[in-house]
Amino acid sequence: MSISWRAKSADRSARGRRRFFAASAATLAAAAWPAQAGSVKTLRVAFPVAETGFDPVQSQDLYSGTVNEHIFEAPYEYDPLARPPRIRPNTAAGMPELSSDFRTLTIRIRPGIHFAADPAFGGKARELTAHDYVYSWKRIFDPRWKSQNLHLVEGAGLLGLNELRAAALREKRPFDYDREVEGLRALDRYTLQLKFAEPSPRFHQMLTAAQPFGAVAREVVERYGDRVAEHPVGTGPFRLAAWRRSSKIVLERNPHFRDKRYAAQPPAEEAQLTAEAQRLHGRRLPLVDRVEISIIEESQPRWLAFMQGELDLLAVPTDFQDLAAPGGRLAPHLARRGVRLARTPLADVTVTYFNLEHPMVGGYAPENVALRRAVSLAFDGEEFVRLHYKGQAIVAQSPFVPNAFGYDPAFATTLSAFDRAAARALLDTYGYLDRDGDGWRERPDGSPLALEIASSPSQLDRKQNELWKRYLDAIGVRVTFRVAQWPELLKQSLAGKLMMWGFGWQAGEPDPDVFFGFGYSGNVEQTNDARFRLPAYDRLYDRSRRLPDGPERLAVLREAARLLAAYMPYKFHVHRIANDLVQPWVIGYGRHPFTQKRWDAIDIDPALAVPA
């Protein structure tokens, strides 16, 4: 099981575009100093996609999750800079106790941690207890909240919780939070215990993510009800200070945050980060007073905002890759300004799925599989990396991802094969022929063969669509594109109404389970967008979840990868490489491959600005 975020790399029309385009060449060439209000340190960042709300249980998207990670807290966290990634206690008093049969997990919560003051507590702060985690994690099972993270815990077999959810659905009554279940309970004020029906050797790895495992107080949920996502109250380093939907989010230091000190261990070869970590060591967190998040959907305004010093960090948009870091090396014009480039191979994968319930591309018969495999063989992964990602990605060979268990660049499957001659031969063999001579193939029964790939209206997606069309034209397969906004496409996808669609998923822990979960039948209408159902695959997936990491589990997952390649419910594309630009006055920034929590451990020093 694995925490993950479904993310869309979108560059859409943005508010504030006119203001950014009005910048003069002289302004862009000049050095930019961060505008700080008095002694208030403010970190300024931008999201390319709007948030949805701030409730760890209801949210699934990457950007809402990033905010949630700084307001709410899970029991564990990652060292922000350690590589390989290292888990350490957060609200927990120590590392978890896992029984020898991997069926019982015991966690002790650190006393003296408090939720931020809120009217739900009579205007005061309130101490965090083990009971808060029991309540918070039961919310994932409550049908009222329609949590898209349910698959993370439903398959874990926490004793009694699936039955509690089933009773609420069957009897059409409110979820019974007061009924104690063996699988999730507080043994005392500070001790939390989880029990599983089957061995669950990696469940504790998920408990680093505040989305969905952050503590939410019952008083807060009961006070704000269906609007709880507008009133986030957590124990984390920041609290929500202001919010204009799809425009601006402001976080400010939580005055009730405990005395937590900076500690990070970057790799020794990262000389600058090592020096910065030493400078920050022992400082009280968070290091800044405010975080201002602007929603800037179009890539050019984001780029110009960074160049003018209005943003402190910038995830380089794909279409600015050659200007910022050609060939993965910082451009000289940025180096002269003191800007730093941070490159991180992501534990992610981008995919295009085929809806196996759709009459055009679905089915398990040889001719159905042949069509999907031909489409995959027509796709030039190396060219796609070069043209679409400007070289900043790795062709995906399988569901194994960098930084996670089992990843080996030498392990290959036909998921990544490119061979258009073989694609044409497959189509010919299974009766997909151009019978009327118009240049386009028909289906074996003579009816039209017309693929439809869903897409957002972003410029980046339009470029991707151009490549898809060229690849499929080359094998005589007609394709059109169904264009809609991301939220609408996600809704249609979960309902099984799209023929084909593509997106990226990012792991939240060092395990590829979420990506193998794409093919698990139990995840249909959750993460299995292809609606793939194969008992042989399900058996392998179930077995992999019960096994500890090691050669036996690796062999099982590799066999599962080969089944995905054989039936081709998904075309796995690439693992992306993130390129972030860091202003010279930012101290301690490093993107983590798994967690989105980072703003509390970043400092701002205006004295470090470098004239151009």
Q: What is the CATH number of the domain that holds 278?
A: 3.40.190.10
Indicate whether 26 pLDDT > 60.
no
Q: How confident is the model at residue 548 (pLDDT cuts 50, 70, 90)?
A: very high
pLDDT at residue 5, rounded to an integer: 52
Spatial distance between the Cα atoms of 190 and 113, rounded to a whole number of angstroms: 11
Please state, in angstroms and as integers, the Cα–Cα distance from residue 276 to each residue in 454, 464, 585, following that order.
Answer: 45, 39, 11
Residues 303 and 371 in one domain: no
Query: Does residue 177 belong to any structural domain of this protein?
Result: yes
Residues 563 and 587 in one domain: no
Residues 594 and 569 in one domain: no
Indicate whether 10 pLDDT > 60.
no
Per-residue pLDDT tens over the stretch 368-380:
999 999 999 999 9
Residue 324's φ and ψ, nearest 5 degrees, are -90, -45
H or E element at residue 124: strand 124-127
Least confidently predicted of 15-19, 64-68, 380-384 = 15-19
C-alpha angle 228-230-232 in degrees, rounded to nearest 5: 70
Spatial distance between the Cα atoms of 64 and 67, rounded to a whole number of angstroms: 5
Residues 139 and 206 in one domain: yes
Spatial distance between the Cα atoms of 439 and 421, rounded to a whole number of angstroms: 16
Query: Does residue 588 belong to any structural domain of this protein?
Result: yes
Q: How confident is the model at residue 4 (pLDDT cuts 50, 70, 90)?
A: low
Query: Does residue 24 belong to any structural domain of this protein?
Result: no
pLDDT at residue 275, rounded to an integer: 95
When divided into structural domains, the chain yields a total of 2
Per-residue pLDDT tens over the stretch 448-483:
999 999 999 888 889 999 999 999 999 999 999 999
Read off the CATH number of the domain in which 375 is found: 3.10.105.10
For residue 327, the 8-state DSSP code is G
Indicate whether 27 pLDDT > 80.
no
Dihedral of CA atoms 65, 69, 71, 75 in degrees, nearest 10, equals: 130
Residues 274 and 382 in one domain: no
Do 353 and 573 meet the contact criterion of CB atoms below 8 Å apart?
no
pLDDT at residue 7, rounded to an integer: 58
Per-residue pLDDT tens over the stretch 197-248:
999 999 999 999 999 999 999 999 999 999 999 999 999 999 999 999 999 9
Please state, in angstroms and as integers, the Cα–Cα distance from residue 88 to each residue in 201, 247, 264, 404, following that order.
Answer: 17, 34, 11, 18
Residues 258 and 360 in one domain: no
User: Could you tell me which of 503, 548, 554, 544 has the C-alpha nearest to residue 527?
Assistant: 503
Residues 483 and 592 in one domain: no
Least confidently predicted of 31-40, 393-402, 586-595 = 31-40
Spatial distance between the Cα atoms of 32 and 125, rounded to a whole number of angstroms: 40
Q: Which residue has the tokens 């009327």?
A: 436
Query: Does residue 321 belong to any structural domain of this protein?
Result: no
pLDDT at residue 9, rounded to an integer: 44
User: Could you tell me which of 193, 73, 85, 67 has the C-alpha nearest to residue 130?
Assistant: 193
Residues 475 and 590 in one domain: no
Amino acid at 251: L
Residues 278 and 379 in one domain: no
Query: Does residue 77 belong to any structural domain of this protein?
Result: yes
Residue 356's φ and ψ, nearest 5 degrees, are -75, -5
Q: How confident is the model at residue 486 (pLDDT cuts 50, 70, 90)?
A: confident
Q: How confident is the model at residue 123 (pLDDT cuts 50, 70, 90)?
A: very high
Do 157 and 197 meet the contact criterion of CB atoms below 8 Å apart?
yes
Spatial distance between the Cα atoms of 332 and 224, rounded to a whole number of angstroms: 51
pLDDT at residue 38, rounded to an integer: 55
Spatial distance between the Cα atoms of 524 and 537, rounded to a whole number of angstroms: 14
Do 233 and 118 meet the contact criterion of CB atoms below 8 Å apart?
yes
What long-range pairs does 239-244 form, CB within 8 A, spacing at least 24?
239/71, 239/116, 240/54, 240/67, 240/71, 241/290
User: Could you tell me which of 89, 83, 90 has the C-alpha nearest to residue 265?
Assistant: 83
Query: Does residue 157 belong to any structural domain of this protein?
Result: yes
User: Could you tell me which of 458, 500, 497 has the C-alpha nearest to residue 480?
Assistant: 500
> Going by C-beta distance under 8 Å and a sequence separation of 6 or more, which residues neighbour residue 463?
387, 388
Q: What is the average per-residue pLDDT within 409-424?
A: 93
Query: Does residue 322 belong to any structural domain of this protein?
Result: no
Q: pTM score, two decimals?
A: 0.84
Per-residue pLDDT tens over the stretch 300-332:
999 999 999 999 999 999 889 999 999 889 999
Residues 374 and 407 in one domain: yes
Per-residue pLDDT tens over the stretch 255-269:
999 999 999 999 999
Give the distance from CA 48 to its chain's centroid: 14
Indicate whether 13 pLDDT > 80.
no
pLDDT at residue 611, rounded to an integer: 61
Indicate whether 595 pLDDT > 80.
yes
Per-residue pLDDT tens over the stretch 269-281:
999 999 999 999 9
Q: How confident is the model at residue 503 (pLDDT cuts 50, 70, 90)?
A: confident
In which domain, by residue range, is 270 found? 4-9+34-312+583-608
Residues 297 and 423 in one domain: no
User: Could you tell me which of 29, 571, 607, 611 has the C-alpha nearest to residue 279?
Assistant: 607
Query: Does residue 323 belong to any structural domain of this protein?
Result: no
Spatial distance between the Cα atoms of 513 and 399, rounded to a whole number of angstroms: 9
User: What's the whole-number average pLDDT of the chain?
Assistant: 92
Residues 84 and 184 in one domain: yes
Q: Quick one: 482 exposed, middle or buried, by C-beta within 10 A (0-12, 13-18, 19+)?
A: middle
pLDDT at residue 22, rounded to an integer: 32
Residue 18's φ and ψ, nearest 5 degrees, are -60, -40
Helices (H), 381-526: 381-388, 420-429, 459-473, 486-494, 513-516
